[in-house]
A and B are shown apart, each in its own frame.
Chain A
C-alpha cells in the first residue's frame, strides 16, 4: 500500500474532521466491514486490502473482533427467566418428615399446575435414578475387588487402551440376552432370584427405597460380565434410534434398564474420562458426601428444572420456566427423596468413586433431540461434590443412558487397571 493510497482513504477520515494524514483508523475499518461506507470509499478499501499486507492484517484483526464480539454477545442469550430460588434446611425438612410422608402416602398437595407437578416427578425420579445408577455401579465395582483376571479378560481383551470400548467392538447381543434383560427388569423380583447370593449381598440400600428392578438389574449386570455384550447392544440400539422411536418402542422401565447397558459412549468420551480419571483419596469418608447437587436442565420448550439436593443443611429445588408456562415453584425436598438420598449415601463406597467423570457436548451431539451438553463430575475439593447436568426434555432417558454409560466407562477402566495389577 502506498502512502498515497493511505492518504486517499485517510482523506475520507479527514473530511469528517479527523486526522487527515493517518492511515484509515480502526473506526473506519469497522465502518467498512459493517457496510456503512459509500461505494467509492469501499472500493478503495478493497484495493488496499489486495495491495497491502499490513492493511489486510488490520482488516483481518478487525474482522476477528467483529466475529468474536458477536459470539460473546450470543452467549448472553441463554438467560433464564422466572428464576426464583428457594432454600430450606435439612433440619426443617426433617421436622416435617411426618407431613411429607403423609403427603407421599396420601398424595402430595397440588403445587402449581398439573404439568409442573408431572415435570417435577419426572425430574425427581429421573434424577434419583441417575444418581442410583452411578452410585450402584460404583459400589458394585468397588466391591468386586479383588477382581479375578479371568473375569475381566473378555473386556480387557477388547481394548488395550483406557478408552471405552466402542459398541461395535463388543460381542453381538443375542435376542435371548435382550429378552432376558427385559423380562428381568419388568419382573424385578424374578431378576433378583437369578442373582447370585454374593451379588445380592452387595445391595446396601433397603429395597423399598430403590427402584428395585433397575437396581437389581444393575447388580446382576455388574456381577455377570457375560451380560454386558447383550446390554451393550440394547443401549446402542437405544442411542441409534430416533428419540421419538425410542420412547415409543419400549416402556420407560425397560429404557432405564437399558441405560444400564454399557459402551454406547464414544471413544472420544472414553478418552476424556481416561485422562481425567483419578481415584479418590482413601481417607474420604461418607461424611465427605456433604453435597450432592443435581441439575436437570430442560430445553427448549419445556420446563427448565433445576434441582439441588444437599445433605449438609441445604436442600433446594428450583423450577424455572422458559418464556412463560408453569409458574415458578419452590419446595422442600420430600421425605422419599431424602430417604433415597440417605440410602444412596449409605450405599456409596466413596473410595470407589472416581474423582472426576466428564462428558462433554460431543457425546450428546449425536443423540437426537438433546440440546444441552451433559456433564457428570465427581470431585473432591474439600467436600465431595456431584454435579449432573442432564438434558431433560421429551427424551430424557437418553441422558440417563449417558450417565450410566459414563459410570460404566470408569468402572471398566477400574476393572482393566485392576487386571493389570
Chain B
C-alpha cells in the first residue's frame, strides 16, 4: 500500500480518538492505531478505506481484549488485596473527572455494536461505512444509532442523578 502516508494523515487522528473513546487509554489506542496502519501497509489495495481501517482497529481491540482478559483476572485479585491493605484517599472532586467517569460508565454500559456504531459515527463515518465496518445492514444503522444515543444519555443522566442524590444525602 503506497498510499499509507495519505491514509495516516487523513485517518490517524480520528482513529486514535475513536480508539481512545472506546478503550479509555490513549497509549493503548495509539498502539492499536499503529498496528492498524501497519496492516494497511501490508495490504495491496483497500476499498472503502475508512471503514476498512475502523473495522481492522475494532477487531484488533477485540483480539487485544481477549488476550488481556486472562491478565485482568490476576490483576483484579491483586487490586483487591491492595484495597484491603490501603485505604485509598477519596481524591477527586473535580467535576470534569466526574463527568469523564460518568461518560466512561455510560459508554461501557452500551451494547458492543451500539457503542462501536456510535463512536464511528462521531468520527464521521457515514452509514454505509459503519455498516461495512460492523458487518451489519445499512438500514439497521439508524436504529442502532438511535438506540445507542438514547441509552447513552439515559445512563449518563442516571449516574448524574445518583451522584446528586449522594451529595444531597451527604450534605
Contact = CB atoms under 8 A, between A and B. Distances in A.
Interface of A: 16-18, 25-31, 34, 36, 62, 64-66, 68-70, 72-73, 75-82, 87, 291, 293, 295, 308, 310, 314, 323, 360, 372-373, 375, 377, 379, 381, 385, 387, 389
Contact of B104 (A26, A64, A76, A385): A76
B152 A69 contact: yes
Contact of B150 (A26, A34, A70, A385): A26
Top 10 A-B pairs, shortest CB-CB distance = A27-B143, A31-B142, A27-B142, A81-B26, A26-B146, A65-B149, A69-B149, A30-B146, A16-B139, A68-B153
B90 interface: yes
Nearest to B140: A27
Contacts of A72: 102-103, 106-107, 152-153, 156
Interface of B: 17, 20-21, 24-27, 30, 86, 89-96, 99-100, 102-104, 106-107, 118-119, 121-122, 126-127, 139-150, 152-153, 156, 170
8 contacts: A18-B139, A25-B143, A34-B121, A68-B149, A69-B153, A76-B100, A80-B26, A293-B91
Contacts of B147: 26-27
A379 B119 CA distance: 38
A291 B90 CA distance: 10
Contacts of A29: 142, 146
Contacts of B170: 381
A27 B146 contact: yes
A308 B88 CA distance: 12
Contacts of A81: 25-27, 30
Contact of B96 (A68, A78, A293): A78
A387 B25 contact: no
B141 A31 contact: yes
A280 to B, nearest CB: 16
Given A73-B103, A73-B107, A387-B93, A65 B25 contact: no
B149 A66 contact: yes
Contacts of A77: 17, 20-21
A76 B86 contact: no
Contacts of B140: 27
Given A79-B24, A81-B26, A30 B145 contact: yes
A319 B52 CA distance: 37
Contacts of A28: 142
A29 B147 CA distance: 12
Contact of A26 (B89, B122, B143): B143
Given A28-B142, A65-B150, A295-B92, 8 more contacts: A27-B146, A30-B142, A30-B143, A73-B103, A73-B118, A323-B26, A360-B95, A387-B91
B149 to A, nearest CB: 4
Nearest to B156: A72
Contacts, number: 127
Q: Which of A18, A75, A377, A381 has the largest number of chain B CB atoms within 10 A?
A: A75
A76 B149 contact: no
Contact of B146 (A17, A62, A314): A62
A209 B153 CA distance: 51
Nearest to A35: B126
A309 to B, nearest CB: 10
Given A30-B142, A387-B91, A389-B94, A76 B156 contact: no
Q: Which of B103, B118, B122 has the largest number of chain A CB atoms within 10 A?
A: B103
A73 B126 contact: no
B21 A73 contact: yes
B17 to A, nearest CB: 7
A34 B89 contact: no
A36 B127 contact: yes
Contacts of B153: 64-65, 68-69, 72
Nearest to B94: A389
Contacts of B24: 76, 79
B90 A381 contact: yes
B103 to A, nearest CB: 5
Contacts of A34: 121, 127, 142, 145
B152 A82 contact: no
Nearest to B100: A75
A101 to B, nearest CB: 27
A271 B26 CA distance: 39
A79 B127 contact: no
A75 B107 CA distance: 11
A17 B104 CA distance: 35
Nearest to A375: B94
A290 B143 CA distance: 52
Contacts of A73: 21, 103, 107, 118-119, 122, 152
Nearest to A313: B86
A377 B156 contact: no
A204 B6 CA distance: 64
Contacts of B146: 25-27, 29-30, 62, 65
A70 B122 contact: yes
A30 B149 contact: yes
Contacts of B25: 79, 81
A65 B152 CA distance: 9
Contacts of A78: 96, 100
Nearest to B24: A79
